[in-house]
Structure 1
Amino acid sequence: MLREKIIGLLYILFGIILIVSPLFSAELLSICIGFSLVCLGLAEISAGILFMGEFDNSYSYLSIIIGILSLLFGIMFIFYLNALTFLVSLQFYIIAILMMAYGIVGVFYLDGKYKIYSVIILILGLLNALLAAFFASQPILIAILIGVALIIEGVFILVVDRSATLIEKYG
């Protein structure tokens, strides 16, 4: 129970950091997007491990795979700054695809309250894909979207943990 609270608070903290951190140059933008993908990847890997055995194991494995892909893309964006001009527009689509994949996996494999979170992430991924052309001219918005997704996931983990505690106490 304490582990879930810590994970939820870390998600919220990383989300707030992504929303309020200023981006001054193209290199810093690539590093911040890479950092946000690394955070998303670590969050997905930990979610896959955390829910191992609680739901269908396919959800956990797919969540871990999506997390590893996010982690790899994040490391690529942090260390390969020479390709930034080509990758700036692709970063938005890659992140949108990863968010939609995580949302779709959650919709098919999770149940009850967990589907709400997955639908929200799926909607944010679709919104990111639809507005990618606009985001290419305003790249700071992608970090804000990932920050919002992390905050939603953190709040969701805290709320689900609290509601599970109330059910155990009064159920």
Structure 2
Amino acid sequence: MEVNKIAGILSIILGLIFMIFPIFSTALVSVFIGLSLIFLGIASILINFSAVNIIIGIISIICGLIFVLNISALSFLLGFQFYIIGILLILIGVTGFFAGDNISKKSSALIIIFGIIAFILGGFSINNPIYAILLIGVSLIVEGIILYISE
């Protein structure tokens, strides 16, 4: 079986799990967001070793550790997690424009766009985190179908 088909099936299964068990999924998303913030912070520090990126990286790592270690205490703050990721992605994208030749301007623009999308998703999930979980579940299912049928 091809890698795309396996990834598609796993994505569909994970999307269904998110939609069937939204409360469990909220805690799982909290862990994933925490881990992604930790990796984002490490990457921010390593890609461009400047004072701004070190500060952004340290803030990302601290926020990531908070979200990973306090799952039950912060699972209701899913909207704020998206806000934090959105703000950090926008900051990293903006600093990428001024970083020099190490980072392409297209990737910096893409990072800013992803930050804006995360910020908007935070707005939707601030009142009810279930909306964000359902949106993530539907996105995983759609991505899984696209992966499965791609050649």
Alignment correspondent of 1:64: 54
How far has the Cα of 1:30 moved from its partner? 1.4
- Supply the AA of the counterpart residue of 1:138: A
Q: How does 1:46-57 map to 2 (within 5 A)?
A: 46-49=46-49
How far has the Cα of 1:71 moved from its partner? 0.7
Select the residue among 125, 132, 135 that pairs with 1:138. 132
Q: Is the 8 A contact 2:81 2:122 kept in 1?
A: no
**Structure 1 residues 64, 95: CA separation in 2 closer, same or farther (over 3 Å shift)?**
same
How far has the Cα of 1:110 moved from its partner? 2.9
Once the two structures are aligned, what percentage of the paired residues are identical? 37
Separation of aligned partners in 2, 1:113 and 1:81: 34
Q: Is the 8 A contact 2:90 2:115 kept in 1?
A: yes
Q: Is the 8 A contact 2:34 2:64 kept in 1?
A: yes
SS in 2 for 1:104: helix
Separation of aligned partners in 2, 1:85 and 1:72: 17
* In the alignment, structure 1 residue 118 sits paired with structure 2 residue 108: yes
* In the alignment, structure 1 residue 92 sits paired with structure 2 residue 82: yes
Q: How does 1:1-171 map to 2 (within 5 A)?
A: 20=11, 22=14, 25=24, 26-49=26-49, 60-111=50-101, 114-134=104-124, 136=129, 137-139=131-133, 141=136
Q: Is the 8 A contact 2:96 2:103 kept in 1?
A: no
- Supply the AA of the counterpart residue of 2:89: M
Unaligned runs of 5+ in 1: 1-15, 50-59, 145-171
**Aligned-residue RMSD, C-alpha:** 2.8
Alignment correspondent of 2:144: none
Separation of aligned partners in 2, 1:47 and 1:113: 8
Q: Is the 8 A contact 1:48 1:61 kept in 2?
A: no
Q: Deviations over 1:6-64 (max 9, x none)?
A: xxxxxxxxxx9xx9594561322211111111111111121124xxxxxxxxxx22112
Compute the TM-score of the two structures, normalised by the length of structure 1: 0.56
Separation of aligned partners in 1, 2:86 and 2:117: 8
Compute the TM-score of the two structures, normalised by the length of structure 2: 0.63
Q: Is the 8 A contact 1:63 1:102 kept in 2?
A: yes
**Structure 1 residues 64, 113: CA separation in 2 closer, same or farther (over 3 Å shift)?**
closer
